Structure 1
Amino acid sequence: MTLDPEIVLLGVLICIFAYSLLTKAIARSIITLPIIFMVVGYLAAGPIALMAEPELLDDGKRLLAEITLVLVLFSDASHVRIQKLRRSFGIPLRMLVIGLPLTIALGTVVAYGLNPSSGMAMALLTAAVLTPTDAALGQTVLSSDSVPENLQQTINVESGLNDGLVLPFVLLGGILASAGMQGANTDGLVVSALLQITFGPLVGICIGWTAAKAMGLAQRQDVMAEAAGGVAFVMVAFSAYLLSELVGGNGFIAAFTAGMVFGNTYKYPLHFISEFMEGIGQLLTMFAFLAFGALLLPDGFAHMTWNAVILAFLFLTVVRMLPIMVSLWGTHLHVSEKLFLGWFGPRGLASILFTLIMIDEFDFPGEDELLACVSMTVFMSIILHGMSAAPLAKWIGKTVPNE
């Protein structure tokens, strides 16, 4: 029996409406938004696959990936204050500056050790796409009164910045893996890579600074309506992305850089960005996890191996937690706090989006294995981090009282 596309879409809309009605009740349970929409997507995988040609579905999930990632990168970066980061954010800085590179390095070694036939470049790409964390999977931790504020801020800052910082590693892994294919054309590959990581930040700086100054002037002259801030935010984010792509830079790096420059240059409150991401941004997140359940997870399960399961488990535990423990060595944090921060490095939206984009952008060996590894890691993370968030929030509250 083939379901009409309208019935499938109606079912998805009903699920979104039901989730909206039960938001508070769900927040008090071990069920999370990613769990719900991953399951909905997986259950609807068959009908969704029949709704359009595979090429059209591939284009659709790539477009969804790009839109969501551009907005997430710009939004997260815009809320980071460089001066404040230097003064009081020593813990997340340690995790980003020391923990992130160590995670990629250890992850590369583990991925290569489990599957040496894929090569070091594929191991690097696998480690890079599985390094960024997603605070949405542990939203209970960020909103819980039991969790000390400094731990909440650390998790939020780290997850907000690491997806942008890991981009060059993802790009490098994709380029090297693609270049390693037999008969691959590597002419101009190095130049192209240098242009992407050079022009991307430059374009981001120019767009972010110019937009912030223009919007600041409009605010001072009282010619811009408050409701227009959300529209302007979207236009600035995508302008940085598109202009960077036009001149040969990396659009995602440009969006991330533009967000950071914009947030540190604009002298007025940025509540319009938060309000937009809480509404439209959450809707995009729902569809991203739904797309993961419908379009990525079935393929991932189809190519699943024990190596992928072992790698997923190691990336969620040893590969994540050991570098974090090393990066926090010598700090005032208690061992329980270090373990808490090490465990709450859930893999979600960024890993899904990076994988979609890399598979579509490059041709490299072992795409099915990469998809299986990422799918299993995100699947396990959605379940384990989602279900452990509430009880561990209570545990850390009792172990380290919130001051």
Structure 2
Amino acid sequence: MFEALDPYILLLTGAGCLIALVVWLPLVLQRLPLSLPIVCIAIGAGLFSLPITNLKPLPTQFPIITERFSEFVVIIALMGAGLKIDRVFGFRRWSIAWRLIAITMPLSIVAITLLAGWWMGLSWTIALLLGSALAPTDPVLAADVQVGPPKSEEEDDVRFGLTAEAGLNDGFAFPFVNLAIVLAVASTNNWFANWFAYNVLWEIIGGTVAGYLIGRLFGWLTFHLPGKSKIARTGDGLIALSATFVSYGVTELLHCYGFLAVFVTALTFRHAHRSHDFNVDMHQLTEQIERVAMMVLLILFGGALVSGLLKPLTSVDLAAAFIVLVVIRPLAGIAGMMGHKAAFVEKMTIAFFGIRGVGSIYYLAFAMNKIDLPNAEHVWAFVGLIILISILMHGLTVTPVMRLLDRTANRASPS
């Protein structure tokens, strides 16, 4: 007689299969016009369509888990993104990033807010929340258009711009998410002054300073501690995970933006000894953890899709989603690149690959765990639709577009 299946044994088996896929799938997909996120969603849709699967991983049913798990994936991705940027920080050297943060993202927030408020008929509070959640480029799902590992020299302007944007804009979008929350619960006349002083000035400045100081501390412990106790001597990249958690935890305890702090910590940590091989070890560890966590989340996302996540959608929502991805982001990206010296194909690539993903899930979950929205399922359906279209559209085009970009750059480079 067969005994009932032990959930613990099933979990171990599934985890083993998942880790094998983490290692194997990137090798298989290198030459295919497919991305890892697309495959993960397909796996999730298949698994949760099985008759024996009763769980429906809908974000409305698991709001706290949705917020915390997406939060974890994002902070790991932010550490990885900061560690692999070779370009030394500087206002002029980082001009692409500042353009995308100061011009492209605010334009995207305004445009999406107007689209959701006027055309989709949502309240202006929900419209602003959607604009804030959907404007940032995702640091998790944008791996294929980001720079390569530390010291790999895979860092052209396009890859650098998208990596730096993904690292910074998660922190700078947060004030607008908080603004939507403030508007939903505002009970005093001086709400704007309180929001600007606390959610903009204090949380941005505090997050930046805390991230810098923690990065300096970990950089000293790792590379410059006197004697033989430098952590870099161990070759143990786990210190990057420690820096991630300490930076995020301390900053959040100070009520500042932890996302921003983690990215600043990563940049400062890397700057402590830019040429050291230990940077590669730290990045490899964060990348592996990020990939496992991302695959789990996207498998659950695939399960949510077949569990009815998109049911509340209308034809207006579908049209609005395409406008967000193929009109608003590209036009806002081009506006941000105006005046920047780069080939048109490079500007278009940066403008097009504004990938939406895990960050949007986190922001929406964060806000909805703070305020009550009467049409939460509809809002989740719209965000889920945009993430799905973005993963499909960008995932199917990223390989040929980046190859074309690399070939163009090689032809243009002197022999």
Answer yes or no: is 1:74 the counterpart of 2:79.
yes
* 1:312/1:376 contact within 8 Å kept: yes
- Pair 1:213–1:238, CA change in 2 (3 A): same
The one-letter code sitting in structure 1 at the alignment partner of 2:348 is L
Please list, as runs of the form range in 1=range in 2, the aligned pairs for 1:270-281 lying within 5 A after superposition: 270-281=279-290
Q: Which amino acid aligns with 1:124?
A: L
Superimposed CA distance per residue, residues 57-99 of structure 1 (whole angstroms, 9 cap, x where no aligned partner) = 5444333222222222233234557844434343343223222
Answer yes or no: is 1:315 the counterpart of 2:318.
Answer: no
Question: Quick one: percent identity of the two aligned structures?
Answer: 24
The alpha carbon displacement at 1:325 in A equals 1.1
Normalized against structure 1, the TM-score is what? 0.82
Equivalent residues of 1:216, 1:268 under 8 A apart: no
Residue-by-residue CA offset, 1:259-280 (whole Å, 9 max, x unaligned): 3443344566322331112222
The one of 299, 303, 324 aligned to 2:312: 303
Instruction: Please give the per-residue CA displacement for 1:336-356, whole angstroms capped at 9, x wherever unaligned.
Output: 332222111121222223233
Q: Which residue of 2 aligns with 1:104?
A: 109
* Structure 2: segments with no counterpart, 5+ residues: 149-153
Judged with a 3 Å threshold, the aligned counterparts in structure 2 of structure 1 residues 206 and 138 are, in CA distance, closer, same or farther, namely closer
- Following superposition, the deviation at residue 34 of structure 1 comes to 0.3
Task: State how far apart, in whole Å, the 1-side matches of 2:80 and 2:270 are.
Answer: 9
Q: Which has the higher helix share?
A: 1
2:376 alignment counterpart? 367
Q: Which of 207, 214, 223 is 2:221 aligned to?
A: 214
1:179 paired with 2:176, answer no
**Which aligned pairs between 1:31-110 and structure 2 lie closer than 5 A?**
31-45=34-48, 50=55, 57-80=62-85, 83-110=88-115
Offset of residue 290 of structure 1: 1.6
Query: Is contact 2:142-2:355 (8 Å) kept?
Result: yes
Q: Which residue is equivalent to 1:17?
A: 20
Q: Does 1:124 align with 2:133?
A: no
- Deviation of 1:126 after TM superposition, in Å, equals 0.6
> Which residue is equivalent to 2:354?
345
Farther-moved stretch of structure 1 (133-142 vs 343-352): 133-142
Give the direction of change, closer, same or farther, for the CA distance of 1:171–1:84 in structure 2 (3 Å limit): same
CA deviation after TM superposition for structure 1 residue 201, in Å: 3.6
In the aligned structure 1, how far is the partner of 2:249 from the partner of 2:39? Answer: 33
- The TM-score, its normalising length taken from structure 2, stands at 0.80
Query: Is the 1:175–1:362 contact (alpha carbons within 8 Å) kept by the matching residues of 2?
Result: no
Is 1:289 equivalent to 2:304 in the alignment?
A: no
Contact 1:316–1:381 (8 Å) recurs in 2: yes
More moved, 66-75 vs 82-91: 82-91
Q: Which amino acid aligns with 1:128?
A: S
Show the counterpart of 2:151.
none
CA deviation string 1:324-379 (max 9, x = no partner): 11122233333333222211112122222323333334433432232111100010
Distance 2:165 2:376 in 1: 28
- Inter-CA distance 109–266: structure 2 relative to 1 (3 Å threshold): farther
Q: 1:86 is paired with a residue of what secondary structure?
A: coil
3-state SS of 2:237 partner = helix
Shift in alpha-carbon separation, 1:111–1:361, aligned structure 2, 3 A: same
Change beyond 3 A, Cα 1:85–1:366 = farther
Of the three residues 223, 232, 252, the one matched with 2:229 is 223
**Helix, strand or coil: the match of 2:354?**
coil
Query: Does structure 1 residue 232 correspond to structure 2 residue 236?
Result: no
CA contact (8 A) 2:58 2:309 kept: no
Partner of 1:393: 402
Q: Is the 8 A contact 1:129 1:170 kept in 2?
A: yes
When residues 64 and 85 of structure 1 are mapped into structure 2, their CA distance, relative to the original with a 3 A threshold, is same
User: By how many angstroms is 1:382 displaced?
Assistant: 0.9
Q: Judging changes above 3 Å, is the alpha-carbon distance between structure 1 residues 392 and 368 closer, same or farther for their aligned structure 2 residues?
A: same
Question: Does the 8 Å CA contact 2:223/2:273 hold for their aligned counterparts?
Answer: yes
Q: How many angstroms apart in 2 are the aligned matches of 1:254 and 1:321?
A: 28
Q: Is the 8 A contact 1:8 1:48 kept in 2?
A: no
Q: CA RMSD in A?
A: 3.7
Question: In the TM superposition, what is the alpha-carbon distance from 1:225 to its structure 2 partner?
Answer: 4.5
Question: Bigger shift: 382-391 or 348-357?
Answer: 348-357
Among 240, 261, 266, the residue aligned to 1:254: 261
Q: Which runs of 5+ in 1 are unaligned?
A: none
CA distance in 1 between counterparts of 2:231 and 2:218 reads 16
Partner SS state of residue 345, structure 1? coil
Which residue does the alignment assign to 1:324? 333
Distance 1:54 1:335 in 2: 40
Q: How many residues align?
A: 394
Query: Which residue type is aligned with residue 398 of structure 2?
Result: A
Q: 1:101 to 1:58 in 2, by over 3 A?
A: closer
The letter of the residue matching 1:173 is A
Letter of the structure 2 residue corresponding to residue 99 of structure 1: T
How far apart are residue 106 of structure 1 and its match? 1.8
> 1:309: Cα distance to partner?
1.4
Q: Of the candidates 156, 166, 172, which is equivalent to residue 149 of structure 1?
A: 156
In 2: Cα distance, 1:297 partner to 1:51 partner: 9
Q: Which moved more, 1:280-289 or 1:10-19?
A: 10-19
What secondary structure, in the 3-state scheme, does the structure 2 residue paired with 1:25 have?
A: helix
Q: How far 1:310 moved relative to its partner?
A: 1.7
Residue among 383, 388, 392 paired with 2:392:
383
- Whether contact under 8 Å (2:42, 2:302) holds in the other structure is yes
Deviation per CA, 1:31-61: give whole Å up to 9, x if none: 2110111122222336665399999954443
